[in-house]
A and B are shown apart, each in its own frame.
Chain A
Amino acid sequence: MSNHAKVLLPNQFDYGYHKEFQRQCTEYIDDAAIDGIVFDFSRVEYLDSAALGMMLMWQRRAAAANKKMMIKGAKGATAQILAMANMQRIFEYI
């Protein structure tokens, strides 16, 4: 049984969210009971490269801890921007 934690991303996902993002990612990576982290993009309307940078940085740490990171609910321009940054190569879409 896989046990995924969910990070519900905000409407505007940029550097302003990094403290909260860091807090949740740290908590879930440190939690041995959790083997995967789902980024829920269903609320995200605006994002920038700082957000992509944060995701990539934490993806490396998650991978080092043998944990999967996944993307869910990205639509419209948000999906377009994630695709442009080739996020599908290292994040599983669910």
Chain B
Amino acid sequence: MNDHPTTSHRYILVVDDDEFLNELFCQFLQTKGFNTCSAYSVAAAMQLLKSGAEVDLILLDYQLTDGNGLELLSNINNHESLQHPPVIMISGNEDAIFLENCFACGVDDYIIKPVNLSLLALKVAALINSVAMQRVISQQNAELEHFKREAEREESIAKFTYEYLLRQNSEAINGVSMWLKSSSSFSGDIALAKVSPGGDLYFLLADATGHGLSAAITVMPVVSIFNSMVAKGFHIQPIVTEINRKLIRDTPQDRFVAAILIQMHQERKEIDVWNGGMPTAYWVDQGEVLQAFRSQHMALGILEEDMFDANVITCDFPGRGAIIAYSDGLIEEVNDDGNSFSSARVDELVRTHRGNLQSVLIEALREYTGRDQYKDDVSICMLEPETIFASCGQQLQNNIGRGFVQEDIGDFSWSVKISGKKIASCEIPPLCNKFLQYLGINQVFCQIIFLVVSEMVSNAIDHGVLKLESSMKEGEGGFNHYFNEREKRLSRLTDSDFIELRLIWQESEERPNLEVSVRDSGDGHNFHSAKDVFDSDFSGRGLKLIRNLAQCVEIYPPGNFIKAIIGPS
């Protein structure tokens, strides 16, 4: 024990006015591996302590020339700034009251004169060890306290982030009832509902891995992508594709998000569901399960883009019932016997109960566990399509009544003219699409505009600028011949060749429309060969598509200028 490696770092202050004894203690303690220093009076000891000398233990003789040991102790205690090393008192007095008094004054141990040196060594070592241990414990306590505060701080950031996301991104909608019971810390559940400009309802229930800040960080991109893509009218297929891509790219590999997304199409009265890793959602009417939406996909953020499957389940709205979706917190919550609520129990409740299924499940969980605080987040959401279609439809009518299907964009025009060799490399349709998306044009309308612009531009390049004939594509190998010739002519473009696209957006009183026109440097090409759509003639099929999508199409002589007017559906 005396060879404990820590002894050599320990300093013992020996306070005794008997120089001989003082020296004896010092030498003995040094043989045991301690460092020592001596003081022969209360005043000298105080001075030494005040000088900041390192002292791990004081060996203190009771009777000193300028006072006694207890006076030294009370002097030390009166100085807040001084360290308070443990003290072993040496005295010949064995009186019980005297000893009690010493301990009350802060003496840690006591040795009776004449001093038994080996007993002294044991007591010193034991006291020093126990003090060292206490120091470690109090240091660890301080660190724990620090980590706890840090964790609480992070927890409050997570909570704040989560609540912020909810406030910013979710709408209260008739027919959508969301019940979320957070565990003491945020554990990753989030439910959002939003109506698109076209009057479709979008619903998202997601459950991120982990809890606290790490869950909040994973959930953040999910919420922001959902929010912005719904606002632009994207379908849920591109939305889940984009969320997955973002999570793969920007979050650690072990972080992912189970989610169920539901889109209710106002116009077609259709419902699309994508379920990746969430428990089975039910469409149920009075105990009759009309459809069970099992998880068909892996959670978001797991599969690379080429493996990811965005396909939804589509069903027609039968005009009754409600959809119930919940997180695994519901089925995994355990009762006092350690048994989980289980999906079998949910299935049974869904099939046997009438009335408000959401309340039934909430009540069943409370009864089953005997609690209303749960260890994981528990979310139970109910969507009533009939009410939703009615309220979203009303909202859509109000918007149209005010003149616009989407937010006010304001009149604008945009044109681009490209000449020479750049015609070969400049992709005008995606460029144009980026601009329209930037302005906030609804995605479905963007898709239609993209098609119209693509057709007009490729017609203008192929048949106008490059003067290619569609008939070249006919026959065996005609296709390849056509495209080889196209490449050849593209490489011979000169600065007098050009193509010009112009868009003019007008927000008339009724509804906005877009005028798309394309002019090229060619001599004008024959648009009259618009044959059947099954014909392999591209220009014919392209023009037919434009005519189907546009309110009107005009071609101006000599045929190098085409103009179409399209309006949002």
Closest B-chain residue to A81, C-beta based? B451
Chain A residues whose CB sits within 8 angstroms of the CB of B538 once the complex forms: 49-50, 53
Q: Do B237 and A81 touch across chains, with their CB atoms under 8 A apart? A: no
Given contacts A42-B237, A76-B235, contact A48 B444 (CB under 8 A): no
Give min CB distance, B255 to chain A, whole Å.
23
Contact residues on B (Cβ < 8 Å of other chain), bracket = 20 to 34
B296 at the interface (CB under 8 A from A): no
Contacts of B3 in A (CB 8 A): none
Min C-beta distance of A7 to chain B, whole Å: 12
Q: Could you tell me if B447 and A84 are in contact, using CB atoms closer than 8 angstroms?
A: no
Chain A residues 1 to 38 lying within 8 A of chain B, measured CB to CB, are 8, 11-12, 14-15
In B440-481, the 8 Å CB interface with A consists of 443-444, 447-448, 450-451, 454-455, 458, 479
The reply to whether A46 and B451 form a contact with Cβ atoms under 8 Å apart is yes
Query: Is the CB–CB distance between B455 and A48 below 8 Å?
Result: yes
- With A43-B237, A84-B549 as contacts: A49 and B455 at CB distance below 8 Å: yes
B310 adjacent to A77 (CB under 8 Å): no
Residues 76-87 of chain A: 1 if any B CB is under 8 Å from the residue's CB, otherwise 0?
111011001110
Q: Tell me if B272 counts as interface (CB < 8 A to partner A).
A: yes
Residues of B362-383 contacting chain A, CB below 8 A: none
A77 with B306: CB separation less than 8 A: no
| Cβ–Cβ < 8 Å partners of B450 in chain A | 46, 48
Please report whether the interface of chain A is mostly helix, strand, loop or mixed according to DSSP: mixed
Shortest Cβ distance from residue B421 to the other chain A in the assembled complex, whole angstroms: 18
B109 lies within 8 A of chain A by Cβ: no
Q: How far is the CA of A47 from the CA of B306 in the complex (A)?
A: 19
- Of all chain B residues, which has the CB nearest A11? B238
Residue among A14, A45, A72 with max Cβ neighbours from chain B (10 Å): A45
Question: How far is it, in angstroms, between the C-alpha of A56 and the C-alpha of B473 when the chains are bound?
Answer: 14
Q: Which residue of the partner chain B has the closest CB to A84?
A: B548
- Chain A nearest CB from B567 CB (Å) reads 14
| Known contacts A45-B447, A50-B458: A85-B237 contact under CB 8 Å | no
**B255-273: contact bitstring with A at CB < 8 Å (1 yes, 0 no)?**
0000000000000000010
A43 and B238 form a contact (CB under 8 A): yes
Interfacial residues of chain B within 321-369, with CB under 8 A of chain A in the complex: none
Given contact pairs A43-B241, A48-B454, A76 touches B447 in the complex (Cβ within 8 A): yes
Contact B310 A73 (CB under 8 A): yes
**Chain A CB within 8 A of B220 CB:** no
Closest residue of chain B to A77, judged by CB?
Answer: B447
Compute how far the CA of A72 lies from the CA of B313 in the bound complex, rounded to whole angstroms: 11
Report the minimum CB–CB distance from A21 to chain B (whole Å).
13
Residues of chain A within 8 A of B451, CB atoms compared: 46-48, 77, 81
Query: How far, in angstroms, from A43 to B244 measured CA to CA in the complex?
Result: 12
* A75 engages B272 (CB within 8 Å): yes
**A57 sits at the interface (CB 8 A):** yes
- A12 & B430 in contact (Cβ 8 Å cutoff): yes
Q: Would you call the interface of chain B mostly helix, strand, loop, or mixed? A: helix
Contact A56 B534 (CB under 8 A): yes
Q: How far is the CB of A68 from chain B (nearest CB, A)?
A: 18
Q: Could you count the A-B residue pairs with CB atoms below 8 Å apart for me: how many are there?
A: 84
Which residues of chain B from 521 to 569 have a CB within 8 Å of any chain A CB?
533-534, 536, 538, 541-542, 545, 548-549
Chain A residues in 8 Å Cβ range of B311: 40, 42, 72-73
Q: Of residues 52 to 83 in A, which have CB atoms within 8 Å of B's CB atoms?
A: 52-53, 56-57, 72-73, 75-78, 80-81
User: Is B433 part of the binding interface, using a Cβ–Cβ cutoff of 8 Å?
Assistant: yes
When the two chains form the complex, which single residue of A50, A52, A75 contacts B312, counting CB atoms closer than 8 Å?
A: A75
Q: How far is the CA of A82 from the CA of B454 in the complex (A)?
A: 16
Query: CB-nearest residue of chain B relative to A78?
Result: B447
Chain B contacts with A in 419-453, Cβ cutoff 8 A: 429-430, 433, 443-444, 447-448, 450-451
Q: Which of chain A's residues have a CB closer than 8 A to the CB of B237?
A: 42-43, 73, 75
- Write out the residue numbers on chain B whose beta carbons fall within 8 Å of the beta carbon of A15: 458
CA distance A84 to B549 in the complex (A): 9
Most buried by B among A8, A12, A48, A73: A48
User: Which residues of the other chain, B, contact A73 by a CB distance below 8 angstroms?
Assistant: 237, 310-312
Out of A53, A76, A81, name the residue touching B536 (CB < 8 Å). Answer: A53
Closest to B306 in A: A8
With an 8 A cutoff between CB atoms, is B309 at the interface?
Answer: yes
Give the docked Cα–Cα distance between A75 and B429 (Å).
21
Give the residue name and chain of the A residue nearest to B537 (CB).
Answer: A53
B545 touches A49 (CB 8 A): yes
From the candidates A11, A42, A80, name the one contacting B309 in the complex (CB within 8 A). Answer: A42
**Residues in B whose Cβ lies below 8 Å from that of A85:** 533, 541, 545
A33 to B493, CA, bound (A): 47
Against A, the Cβ 8 Å flags (1 = close, 0 = not) of B278-318 are 00000000000000000000000000001001111000000
- Is the pair B444, A76 in contact by a Cβ cutoff of 8 Å? yes
Q: Which residues of B contact A57 (CB under 8 A)?
A: 479, 536
Q: Which residues of B lie under 8 Å from residue A56 when comparing CB positions?
A: 534, 536
Complexed CA–CA distance, A11 and B272 (Å): 19
A11 CB contacts on chain B under 8 angstroms:
238
A-B contact pairs, 21 of them (CB 8 A): A42-B237, A42-B310, A43-B237, A43-B310, A45-B234, A46-B454, A47-B451, A48-B429, A48-B458, A49-B545, A50-B538, A56-B536, A57-B536, A75-B235, A75-B272, A76-B443, A76-B444, A77-B448, A78-B447, A80-B448, A81-B447
9 additional A-B pairs beyond A14-B454, A46-B447, A84-B548, beta carbons within 8 Å, are A42-B312, A43-B237, A43-B238, A49-B454, A49-B538, A50-B458, A73-B310, A77-B443, A77-B444
The 7 A-B residue pairs with the shortest CB-CB distance in the complex, in nearest-first order = A77-B447, A49-B542, A48-B454, A42-B310, A75-B235, A49-B541, A73-B311
